[in-house]
Amino acid sequence: MRVAVLSGGRSSEHEISLESGASVAAGLREAGHEVSPVLLERDGRWTHEGSEVELRAGGGLLGADVAFPVLHGPFGEDGTVQGLLECLDVPYAGPGVLAAAISIDKLIFKRLLVFHGIPQVDFCEAGEEGWRERVAAMGLPVWVKPARLGSSVGISKVTSPERALDEAVELARRHDPRVIVEANGGGREVECSVIGNEEPRTSPPGEIVAHADWYDFEAKYSEGGMDLVVPARIGDQANARVRELAARVFKAIDGSGLARCDFFVLDDGEVLVNELNTIPGFTSTSVFAKLFEADGIAYQELCDLLVHYALERHEAQREFRF
């Protein structure tokens, strides 16, 4: 098939997206597909081989059979590009509009988890009524984050009261007017990859061992910044619980295609959901792919599966009379 791979984008994760997109394009070619790379420039333009891409409702995208967005953060992982692809009538890999929009906003996502009774750390929105009292009750440290960014951009670990908290909120608000404050999760950081549509398949959970104070941008993307231990050293029962919750969260957001769900696993075996990324880092050495590699799915096979999941969902949606 001909696959249009979308990478770049307007967010601060532009460069990371380019790396993911190049890896996906290579994987798809190895799987036998023809690839049409589409670069989403920082100014919002779409280009292919140096020329601007003409987009018309119902007109498809460069004659591709399917699109594969490999975009991280706002303007790509938040439902905007997914909505545009719906208007173009192009099947696409990854989350639909709703799943992308819910998951990019940590506040909305976590409130949905509350509704479903899914265990997680305490949180609140900076600026909402009574928020300082709620933060005080969380103890220290707390984590202050832009609500709609990834890759640890704009995140602060607050270890002292009041002033440090205000400075952290101000830093986060440079990136996003919506700011979330979370209690410290503690325990081990564990991640689980998910693929599929109606019946999601989960990977073996992997444990993140960051060679830093916490799993920040440098630890994530610098060589030697972290180690991935698969399976996670949390025992069989906790590993099974992680996989169960990953599938449950994926269904709760109406997920499709792929996602990576992140957890805290405490010393007593309790498992807490941290967040879910609907388009996680996707190089051949990224955690998402490595976890499925440990389950016997090679990188090119993973890329091929996601193309077929995209077509499966598109065909299923066409059976309905909206």
- Which residues are the active-site residues? 13, 151, 221, 260, 262, 275, 277, 281
Peptide bond into 95 cis (omega under 30): no
Tokens describing residue 94 = 């990854």
What span, in angstroms and rounded, lies between the C-alpha atoms of 193 and 204? 8
Contact between 44 and 34 under an 8 Å Cβ cutoff? The reply is no
What span, in angstroms and rounded, lies between the C-alpha atoms of 6 and 35? 10
Tokens describing residue 303 = 């890329």
Residues 6+ apart with CB under 8 A from 105: 78, 147, 148, 178
Handedness of CA 38, 216, 188, 263 (dihedral sign): negative
Phi, psi for 100 (deg, rounded to 5): -65, -45
DSSP-derived pairing of the beta strands 179-183 and 142-146: antiparallel
What span, in angstroms and rounded, lies between the C-alpha atoms of 303 and 219? 26
What span, in angstroms and rounded, lies between the C-alpha atoms of 284 and 108? 30
Tokens describing residue 284 = 């051949």
**175: three-class secondary structure by DSSP:** coil
The closest of 241, 229, 291, 228 to 269, measured between CA atoms, is: 241
Size (the chain), residues: 322
What span, in angstroms and rounded, lies between the C-alpha atoms of 137 and 135? 5
Beta strands of 49-110 (E only): which ranges?
A: 51-52, 66-69
